[in-house]
Amino acid sequence: MTDVLLRLEGLTKAYPGVVANDDVSFDIREGEIHALLGENGAGKSTLVKMIYGLVKPDSGTMTLRGAAFEPAEPRAARAAGVAMVFQHFSLFDALSVAENVALGMENPPKPRDLARQIRDVSETYGLPLDPGRTVGTLSAGERQRVEIIRCLLQNPRLLIMDEPTSVLTPQEVEILFETLRKLASEGTAILYISHKLEEIRSLCDHATVLRLGKKVATCTPADATARELAEMMVGASFETPQKAERPLGEVMLDVRGLSLPAPGAYGTPLREISFQVRAGEILGLGGVAGNGQDELLAALSGERVTAADVIRLRDRPIGTMGPTERRALGVLSGPEERLGHAAAPDMSLTENAVLTGARRMGLLSGGFVNWTKSKGFAEDVIQSFDVRTPGPGTAARALSGGNLQKYVIGREVLQSPEVLVVNQPTWGVDAAAAAAIRQALLNLAAKGAALVVISQDLDELMEVSDRFGALNEGRLSEIRPVDGLTVDEIGLMMGGAHDMEVAHVDG
């Protein structure tokens, strides 16, 4: 247990304008689950990319079981026994599980042997998976199992997992943790990257905390509180958003029996979704990615239209209206995908302000854009939401993800919506900025707006919402008050562990 598997000494990697890793050293021992903790942009990804041979360090050394370890490419890292499960899956929707696994192997065995191996591994580690199924039909949790099994077939000494639980229900997280503990007990070391503190406290033996590219601490997470870990990560204490007591007003948004066919081959159809949101209320909608979140936002924003009566604003049917008309009435939205959906990448921030603010902010006169006024609105957003950018003339794609997120949310909030629908409002944003965005959403509700917050971050939903519902395969669960809701109940609302029943039959 105490032998050092991988030793990192003084690893440094600089990119133009930023030092991603600065003199990082720590040890990963055989059979331990080691957490790598840090905010977005702290250098976690760069560090594991160096271990996996995707990036070459500028200086510093790595030693694997006493021998120098300098992987020039991922293939070399895999040969040395390092495997990695990425946050974003690299799977082909149209191919079967076995075919996808074979594509990632150096010398794939015959299809029949491979299918047997996949079954063996999936049974041994409690990861139910049918090798013959098409990946396009799998849930996110099952897709992750494909990636994990692909790694396990190589008998790795070190398994790197990048934010593995962001796509899982609480029940699926438990299954994953069981698997990881079993692997660790057999001697495989696991480097576990996350910013979810409770998970790390329950799963990991040691944690290395990175902040701005530097190692700031190594600790035993079970001995620290989540608050302490968070402060190590952020480097300062920050204010938790405050939920003020809000009187609930009239019903603002009323959705009754919203059904829409899937937009594409692997999209999700919406099935009989009904809910109401009152003035001053925040409805939180959870669920694993790909269960109808994008589709619901498109239906509420007006990008896809429905029958008039299905969606009502203050009892006025708005289902047939497009985004422009709905905006005029005060129904605003913020989609999940920042670049290309909420904002046009190559256009300036001023132009992106016109994108949704044109009419509501009075930026048009006689069909002509008043660019001076538009620039003023863009500057307002930049200032109010602390967007770090040289100015409103900057192209949207030049902003970091978090800054652009602040910009697109701020753009909607400053237009004083009556109803605001946002999907993943703090995705990829650092903790302090996320807290600021959540506070802005709470303030908006306090002023009497009705909010629908769609998110995969359960902590976020618990923090801001008054009532909670979950999307599962395009259906909306029963909606319940957040107070008194337990994690188990939430997990069941999200659909429990996907396809566990199937697994029992197979097993």
Partner 1 sequence: MLRLEKRPQPSQLWTVVTPILAVFLTMIVGGIMFALLGKPPLEAIKVIFWDPLFHEQFAAYSRPQLLVKAGPLILIAIGLSIGFKAGIWNIGAEGQYIIGAICGAGVGLAFYPSESVLIFPAMVLAGAAGGWAWAMIPAVLKTRFGTNEILVSLMLVYVAQNVLISVSSGLLRNPEGMGFPGSRNFKQWDAAHNAELIANTGMHWGVVAAFIAVIGAYMLMSRHIMGFNIRLTGEAPRAARFAGVSPTRIVFFCLGLAGLLAGAAGLFEATGPAGQITGAFNAGYGFTAIIVAFLGRLHPVGILLAGLLMALTYIGGELAQLMLNLPGASIQLFQGMLLFFLLATDVFTNYRLRFGKKGLV
Task: By CB under 8 A, name the binding residues for partner 1.
Answer: 49, 54-56, 301-303, 322-325, 327, 333, 335, 337, 340-347, 351, 354-356, 358, 364, 367-369, 371, 394-395, 397-398
Give the count of alpha carbons within 13 A of 482, CB side only.
18
Q: How far is 122 from 116, CA to CA, in rounded Å?
A: 10
Least distance between partner 1 and beta carbon 430 (Å): 20
Q: How far is 356 from 332, CA to CA, in rounded Å?
A: 9
Least distance between partner 1 and beta carbon 340 (Å): 5
* Pairing of the two strands 282-286 and 450-454: parallel
Least distance between partner 1 and beta carbon 427 (Å): 17
Main-chain phi, psi angles of 81, to 5 degrees: 100, 20
Least distance between partner 1 and beta carbon 115 (Å): 34
Indicate the residue among 35 and 84 with the shorter CB distance to partner 1. 84
Indicate the residue among 54 and 76 with the shorter CB distance to partner 1. 54
Indicate the residue among 21 and 472 with the shorter CB distance to partner 1. 21
Least distance between partner 1 and beta carbon 381 (Å): 16
CA dihedral of residues 206, 212, 215, 217 (deg, nearest 10): -60
Least distance between partner 1 and beta carbon 156 (Å): 21
CA dihedral of residues 160, 164, 170, 172 (deg, nearest 10): -70
Indicate the residue among 171 and 424 with the shorter CB distance to partner 1. 424
Indicate the residue among 167 and 363 with the shorter CB distance to partner 1. 363
Cα 369 to chain centroid, rounded: 36
Which candidate, 481, 459, 460, 457, places its Cα nearest to that of 469? 481
Q: Rg of the Cα trace of the chain? A: 24
Least distance between partner 1 and beta carbon 303 (Å): 5
Which candidate, 199, 137, 135, 127, places its Cα nearest to that of 170? 199
Q: Which residue has the tokens 């909030």?
A: 413
Are the C-beta atoms of 213 and 21 separated by less than 8 Å? yes
Q: Hey, what amino acid is at 152?
A: L
Q: Which residue has the tokens 């190594």?
A: 218
Q: Which two tokens stand for residue 466?
A: 């008054």
Indicate the residue among 226 and 398 with the shorter CB distance to partner 1. 398
Indicate the residue among 90 and 240 with the shorter CB distance to partner 1. 90
Indicate the residue among 117 and 370 with the shorter CB distance to partner 1. 370
H or E stretch including 297? Answer: helix 293-301
Main-chain phi, psi angles of 448, to 5 degrees: 110, 10
Least distance between partner 1 and beta carbon 346 (Å): 5
Least distance between partner 1 and beta carbon 398 (Å): 4
Indicate the residue among 359 and 480 with the shorter CB distance to partner 1. 359
Are the C-beta atoms of 359 and 336 separated by less than 8 Å? no
Least distance between partner 1 and beta carbon 339 (Å): 8
Indicate the residue among 34 and 338 with the shorter CB distance to partner 1. 338
Are the C-beta atoms of 163 and 194 separated by less than 8 Å? yes
H or E stretch including 4? Answer: strand 4-15
Tally of CB atoms within 10 A around 303:
17
